Chains A and B, each alone.
Chain A
Amino acid sequence: MTDTQPDFQAPDLPAEDNGLILPRRSFLRGAGTLTLSAAAVAMLAGCESAAAGSSASAADVSILNTALGAELEAIAAYQVGAESGLLRKPVLDLAVQFQGHHKEHADLLAKTVRSLGGRPVDAKKTYDFPVDQLKSQNDVLGFAAGLEKGAVSAYLGAVPLFQNRDLAKAAASILGDEAMHWAVLRNALGQNPVPVAFVS
């Protein structure tokens, strides 16, 4: 997606506050583990029936595995962010929470690959992150926002490829989550959180 619109100014906040406009406590409350795992279970149930009905193909397994590789990298990236010492609360909580979502995505993808008879890819031993360019909280937020934006595009590019529609639905569900991450990170950067009507 091209950010063709100017970012609007965040309301005046103390410089350190990074424009996190949401009430702080709402971050961790809304997304209870129960809700998420229930959704995950429902999706996985769909995937298992897909495996049984075998309308999923080796090509679908390959899509899931590519997505899994990207999720594993995102988990590692948030780890770098969280351990950088550059993030302050509540941004740090947010990063940890988002990392948790990526872990849930990765778990679900790996399980589904297995249930379809594939072998899930492993995390790489090392990742090349632009750590020398991360000097402030905003650098870390910008880095994370870029990854989330890319993830939205990647899932968007995967959804139409699945032969099995339940898997396409599960991928779309993850896409929605990544898009929320992207918007909240932009918001935290004081940028227009939702700059366009369509993601691409």
Chain B
Amino acid sequence: MPARRTPFGAAGGGPRKGAALRRAWAGPLAAAAIIAAVPAQAAAAPDPAHGKQIYDRCLACHAVAHDRVGPRHCGLKGRQAGSMPGFEYSDAMRATGFTWNRQTLDRFLTDPLGVVPGTTMTYDGIKDARERRDLVAYLLSLPPCGGR
């Protein structure tokens, strides 16, 4: 189960406090700590199933298989930013030169308007690194777009 986060904890002291706690455990009880910390660890493998839950936040504007306010997300892996035929992108998105992969998605989703000023994806972004990592894993797992 994902750790519960508050709007304050995610941006403020919460994660750091967690890190300090983990450091404190790192000495004599290292072995026990590793076992205990595994489920909540940010360093664990990305969890696309959790990413799918985070993707609920995108569902006002996106769908996997068809364009809505935002473009469809099928076949995102390796796609050029702003290249889905028939979708009206901003000039800003077309001009990024991004190819969507783990790094570019992570950057964009951290702060869409900061990274692509002028984008019409007017969304503040996913600030929590673990949520973003899992979301990106989910996005990269989406199947290619079917015929249409």
Contacts and interface: CB of A to CB of B under 8 A. Distances in A.
Asked if A pairs with B, the answer is yes
Interface of A: 1-4, 59, 62-63, 65-67, 69-70, 73, 127-128, 146-147, 149-151, 153-154, 156-161, 197-198, 200
A73 B66 CA distance: 13
A150 B69 contact: no
A150 B58 CA distance: 6
Contact of A66 (B61, B65, B67): B61
Nearest to A149: B56
A146 B7 contact: no
Contacts of B120: 62, 65-66
The main secondary structure of chain A at its interface with chain B is helix
Interface of B: 1-2, 4-7, 50, 53-54, 56-61, 63, 65-69, 113, 118, 120-125
21 contacts: A2-B50, A4-B1, A4-B2, A59-B113, A59-B122, A62-B120, A63-B122, A65-B120, A66-B61, A127-B68, A128-B67, A147-B59, A149-B59, A150-B57, A150-B61, A153-B60, A157-B122, A158-B123, A161-B124, A198-B5, A198-B7
A185 to B, nearest CB: 14
B112 to A, nearest CB: 9
The main secondary structure of chain B at its interface with chain A is loop
Given A1-B57, A153-B60, A154-B61, A66 B124 contact: no
Contacts of B69: 66, 69-70, 73
Given A128-B66, A198-B6, A198-B7, A157 B56 contact: no
B54 A66 contact: no
Given A66-B120, A150-B56, A198-B7, 20 more contacts: A3-B53, A4-B4, A62-B118, A62-B120, A65-B120, A66-B61, A66-B69, A66-B122, A69-B69, A70-B69, A73-B68, A150-B58, A150-B59, A153-B56, A153-B58, A157-B122, A158-B122, A159-B124, A160-B124, A161-B122
Contacts of B66: 128
Contacts of B67: 128
B94 to A, nearest CB: 16
Given A147-B59, A198-B6, A66 B121 contact: yes
